[in-house]
């Protein structure tokens, strides 16, 4: 994977670029829909490609390893062919599950012992086998196996955890270099900068990861409970250290406002479950602000979901109808909301890119943030 940095905004750190993968180009800034088990919940690939205009999606090592398992994925010819997604795929390493499934795991130097959330069976993830699994999946971008500590972790724990993440990173790259792609297309490996909310640890981490001359770098361990301002501060600090000519990926973030703030600080890639999960739960992100579609006030509002009309559902269905479907528990409601939210996120990324290229980002962004913060 190569990255062309096309333009950097003159007054902010915002960047526009293109990533070239063996599964096609990806313009940045980019939002990548999360398709944990090989499915972006509630959305057809066709709509993701042709309506949402997504160019890259995520899968998850932990989930795909447990089900359907690497054997099936290998028989299928990799995840791309298994789920029939022709664009690039990025897989998270399972590091986040080490955090989110904290109750059923045990961390050691070797790796992470954990119990399956599906059947309780015991498994071990190591930096080596997590790379192997991602080779079996065939992700265009593989993520290093890391520990993602909670947002309120104390310094001592954060420092210890960072040491472990760094040692694991060395093992990830060793395994990465000792193995080959299985399906003929190139696979990148992105290190993950950790360090919680401690500036010196973040800086240390951002410096450490560069020794691997990776094709891109990720910032992890943010939006895990710390205030947004602290997150922005960490991003700023890390991006000041990371190389300019590689894409920066802010993992798991976030709200539309988070995205714009991060873009302003030089982030190129994002993923988040928010558009799909919150969509399923009745929340719409729109160009005018946030809509809780279950609210009484929408009962007779027959206007489009979003005047920006970023998806076909926006002009096909009204707020009143979507409210009705949502309250009725219809699965179509979840599909419509998910599709809209994803389309809105990618629309927002295209807008940001356009503004960066035209040199108007710094004027456009604050007004947009103000709009996106509104609760309608």
Partner RNA sequence: GGGGAGAUACCAAAGCGGCCAACUGGGGCAGACUGUAAAUCUGCUGACUUUCGUCUUCGUAGGUUCGAAUCCUGCUCUCCCCA
Of 10, 67, 104, 358, the one binding RNA (CB under 7 A) is 104
Structure tokens at 112: 């992470």
Minimal distance, residue 170 CB to RNA, in Å:
16
Of 78, 95, 247, 266, the one binding RNA (CB under 7 A) is 95
Minimal distance, residue 358 CB to RNA, in Å:
27
DSSP state letter for 197: T
Of 164, 254, 352, 372, the one binding RNA (CB under 7 A) is 254
Tally helices (H) and strands (E) across the chain: 15, 17
DSSP state letter for 215: S
Catalytic residue (one of 9, 140, 268, 271): 271
Q: Which is nearer to RNA, 8 or 283 (CB)?
A: 283
Distance (Å, rounded) from C-alpha 90 to C-alpha 137? 10
Minimal distance, residue 293 CB to RNA, in Å:
9
Catalytic residue (one of 9, 47, 51, 92): 92
Which stretch, 2-10, 18-26, 55-63, 232-240, contacts RNA (CB under 7 A)?
Answer: 55-63
Residues 34/278, Cβ–Cβ less than 8 Å: no
Is 281 one of the binding residues for RNA (CB under 7 A)?
yes
Which stretch, 9-17, 23-31, 93-101, 240-248, contacts RNA (CB under 7 A)?
Answer: 93-101
Distance (Å, rounded) from C-alpha 342 to C-alpha 354? 18
Distance (Å, rounded) from C-alpha 292 to C-alpha 297? 10
Q: Which is nearer to RNA, 309 or 376 (CB)?
A: 376
- H/E element, 33: strand 30-33
Residues 288-307 that bind RNA (CB under 7 A): 292, 294-297, 299
DSSP 298-319: GTT--SBS-TT--SHHHHHSBH
Is 218 one of the binding residues for RNA (CB under 7 A)?
yes
Is 101 one of the binding residues for RNA (CB under 7 A)?
yes
Among candidates 301, 310, 306, which has minimal Cα distance to 346?
A: 310
Minimal distance, residue 302 CB to RNA, in Å:
16
Positive or negative: CA dihedral 232, 234, 239, 240: positive
Of 201, 223, 260, 310, the one binding RNA (CB under 7 A) is 223
Q: Which is nearer to RNA, 117 or 350 (CB)?
A: 117
Minimal distance, residue 227 CB to RNA, in Å:
9
Q: Whose structure tokens read 């009705």?
A: 324
Q: Which is nearer to RNA, 93 or 239 (CB)?
A: 93
Residues 38/76, Cβ–Cβ less than 8 Å: no
Among candidates 184, 85, 73, 82, which has minimal Cα distance to 137?
A: 73
- As to burial, measured by CB atoms within 10 angstroms (0-12 exposed, 13-18 middle, 19+ buried), residue 169 is buried
Size of the chain, expressed as the number of residues it contains: 376
92 is a catalytic site residue:
yes
Minimal distance, residue 93 CB to RNA, in Å:
5
Q: Residue numbers of the site for RNA (CB under 7 A)? A: 34, 36, 40-41, 58, 60, 63, 92-93, 95-97, 99-101, 103-104, 117, 143-144, 146, 148, 192, 218, 220-221, 223-224, 228, 251-255, 258, 271-274, 276-278, 280-283, 292, 294-297, 299, 327, 329, 331, 334, 375
Active site residues: 92, 271
């Amino acid at each position: 994977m190569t990255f062309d940095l096309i333009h950097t905004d003159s007054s902010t750190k915002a960047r526009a670029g293109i990533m070239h993968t063996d599964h096609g180009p990806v313009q940045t800034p980019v939002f990548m829909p999360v398709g944990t088990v090989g499915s972006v919940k509630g959305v057809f690939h066709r709509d993701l490609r042709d309506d949402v205009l997504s160019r890259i999606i995520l899968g998850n090592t932990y989930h795909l390893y447990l089900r359907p398992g690497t054997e099936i994925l290998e028989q299928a010819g990799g995840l791309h062919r298994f789920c029939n997604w022709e664009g690039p795929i990025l897989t998270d390493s399972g590091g986040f599950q080490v955090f989110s499934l904290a109750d059923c795991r045990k961390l050691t130097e070797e790796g992470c012992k954990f119990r399956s959330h599906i059947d309780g069976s015991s498994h071990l993830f190591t930096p080596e086998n997590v790379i192997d699994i991602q080779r079996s999946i065939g992700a265009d971008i593989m993520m290093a196996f890391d520990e993602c500590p909670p947002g309120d972790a104390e310094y001592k724990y954060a420092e210890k955890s960072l040491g472990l993440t760094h040692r694991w990173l060395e093992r990830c790259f060793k395994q990465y270099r000792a193995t080959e792609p299985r399906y003929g297309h190139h696979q990148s490996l992105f290190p993950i900068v950790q360090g919680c909310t401690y500036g010196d640890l973040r800086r240390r981490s951002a410096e450490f990861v560069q020794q691997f001359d990776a094709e891109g770098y990720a910032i992890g361990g943010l939006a895990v409970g710390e205030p947004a301002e602290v997150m922005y501060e960490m991003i700023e600090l890390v991006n000041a250290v990371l190389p300019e000519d590689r894409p920066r990926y802010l993992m798991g973030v976030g709200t539309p406002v988070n995205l714009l703030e991060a873009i302003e600080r030089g982030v190129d890639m994002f993923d988040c479950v928010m558009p799909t999960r919150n969509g399923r739960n009745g929340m719409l992100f729109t160009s005018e602000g946030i809509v809780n579609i279950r609210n009484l006030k929408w009962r007779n509002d027959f206007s489009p979901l979003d005047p920006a009309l970023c998806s076909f559902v926006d002009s096909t269905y009204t707020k009143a109808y979507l409210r009705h479907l949502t309250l009725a528990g219809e699965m179509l409601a979840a599909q419509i909301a998910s599709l809209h939210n994803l389309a809105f996120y990618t629309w927002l990324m295209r807008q940001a890119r356009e503004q960066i290229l035209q040199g108007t980002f710094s004027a456009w962004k604050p007004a947009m943030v103000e709009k996106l913060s509104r609760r309608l």
